[in-house]
Structure 1
Amino acid sequence: MATHTSDLLAAAAPRTVGVVRGIADDQLDLPTPCHEYLVRDLLNHLFEVVVNFQELAAKRPVEWAEKPEHLGVGWRDRFAVEVDRLIAAWSEPSTLEGVSPGMGMPQAVVGGMALLDLTVHGWDLAVATGKPYQPASEAVAELHGLVEQLGPTARKMGVFADPPPTATTPTPPDLDHLLAQTGRTPTWPTTT
């Protein structure tokens, strides 16, 4: 069985998994567009997201580790396995019904948040490590509405930074616009 959410996750997953598989050990201490995260920190965060959003799909509570550590032996392969489990977890139609007990928002929005992290953090890791990254166009199109919906609250909570000044003019719903709306500079590391 599949849902719209699991289809979008399945489209986005190979792109991010490919980036993660290509990260060398000597790149783990590089900076990322997420100012407070080095590559290793962002990998651990994304790993935590992928695992916890499996539980959120099942409407179970989750605990977010303050400093998760998922980069043990075979972490690249384990990440790919956990992403597959994430897709499977959101493939049951009942996962999209009701309100998330752990997040207090509609389950469909929670599923979209998993897609957002997989897509945007895939870009973060790619540019931090010099890897090519072309997100799933259907995921980017879907995420524009979600970011518009969550943006004001996410900015108040410090999850998103304010969009860079160049992002204030209307642009087509593309990756650069999505990144800007999450507070990223699409030309990172260039600071113009």
Structure 2
Amino acid sequence: MDTDTDTDTDTDTDTPATAAEPGAGPTAAPFGDDDPRMAFARAVGTARQVIGAVEPDHLDRPTPCDAFDVRELLAHLTAVLRRVAVIGGGGSPFEVPDQVTDVADDGWAEAWVAAAHAVQGVWTDDVLDRSVQVPWRPMSGREALGIYTCEVTVHTWDLARAIDQEVDWDPLAVAAGEAAIRAELPNQGRHEMFEAARAAMPAEADGWPDPFLAAAPVAVDAPAIDRLVAYNGRPPQWPAS
């Protein structure tokens, strides 16, 4: 399947467009919309488009994710995708650092496709109902892909805002991400939730930060992408005028 926002099937496994559909080989039938791999694949495809639009003079720009400039955000996004592959294969999320350090400034698009291939190789049907470990708790593969659909989409929004890139947001990916994060996170008390989780984490998680801030205000009739990023702690109007 092409990982852009359409749903056409692409059977050429040598093209990067096939790389971001996790769990299905080039001859497999497309996932149905109720399969979390479909929404995740679309989120990965949207991210691929935005990553491909990054120019060298963008790399030091600030982003809505205060901890990262564009270069650091690319390093974190790539780490997130590699982490999805690791946990799908039964590993610990802490095997992957918060930012990758092995990608050159001109190698982000290639690294993204390679990480997507790794996800594709491990997220088979049986993983969806198996328990996997995200940093703060174990959950089913279905739940985890929903959370990572949210994370990939929100960080793609961060990146797009930082480089002034217009995005045609995929409605399935955005809706799946919002449903997953609302089911997982309370509106209040997030710091306390993650503080309790830190107490049970392994030693290699030392210094793990809260992954989500308090929700930002947003109009009830705001676009879906604005509601999603606001629930993840981003002011949708970034940068403030």
Query: Could you tell me the TM-score, scaled by structure 1's length?
Result: 0.86
Gaps of 5+ in 2: 1-23, 25-30, 195-209
Contact 2:103 / 2:111 at 8 angstroms: preserved in 1? no
**Which residue identity is paired with 1:26?**
D
Aligned partner of 1:107 among 134, 141, 149:
141
The alignment's C-alpha RMSD in Å is 2.3
| CA 82–12 in structure 1, closer or farther in 2 if over 3 Å, else same | same
Structure 2 partner of 1:178: 228
User: RCO greater where, 1 or 2, for CA within 8 Å and sep 6 or more?
Assistant: 1
Query: What pairs with 1:71-90 in structure 2 (closer than 5 Å)?
Result: 71-72=103-104, 74-90=107-123
1:142 aligns with 2:192: no
1:160 aligns with 2:212: yes
Q: CA deviation at 1:149?
A: 1.7
Structure 2 partner of 1:10: 41
Moved over 4 A (4+): none
Aligned partner of 2:129 among 58, 73, 97:
97
Gaps of 5+ in 1: none
Deviations 1:75-129 (Å, cap 9, x if unpaired)? 3222123224324533x11111132146412221111122112211111100101
Structure showing greater radius of gyration is 2
| CA 161–35 in structure 1, closer or farther in 2 if over 3 Å, else same | same
More helix by share: 1
Q: Secondary structure at the match of 1:144?
A: helix
Give the distance between the partners of 1:143 and 1:123, measured in 2 at CA. Answer: 13
**Which residue identity is paired with 2:190?**
R
Q: What is the number of equivalent residue pairs in this alignment?
A: 188
Give the distance between the partners of 1:65 and 1:160, measured in 2 at CA. Answer: 17
Aligned partner of 1:126 among 160, 165, 175:
160
Q: CA deviation at 1:174?
A: 0.9
Give the distance between the partners of 1:111 and 1:79, measured in 2 at CA. Answer: 17
**Which residue identity is paired with 2:214?**
D
Q: CA deviation at 1:68?
A: 2.8
| CA 43–154 in structure 1, closer or farther in 2 if over 3 Å, else same | farther
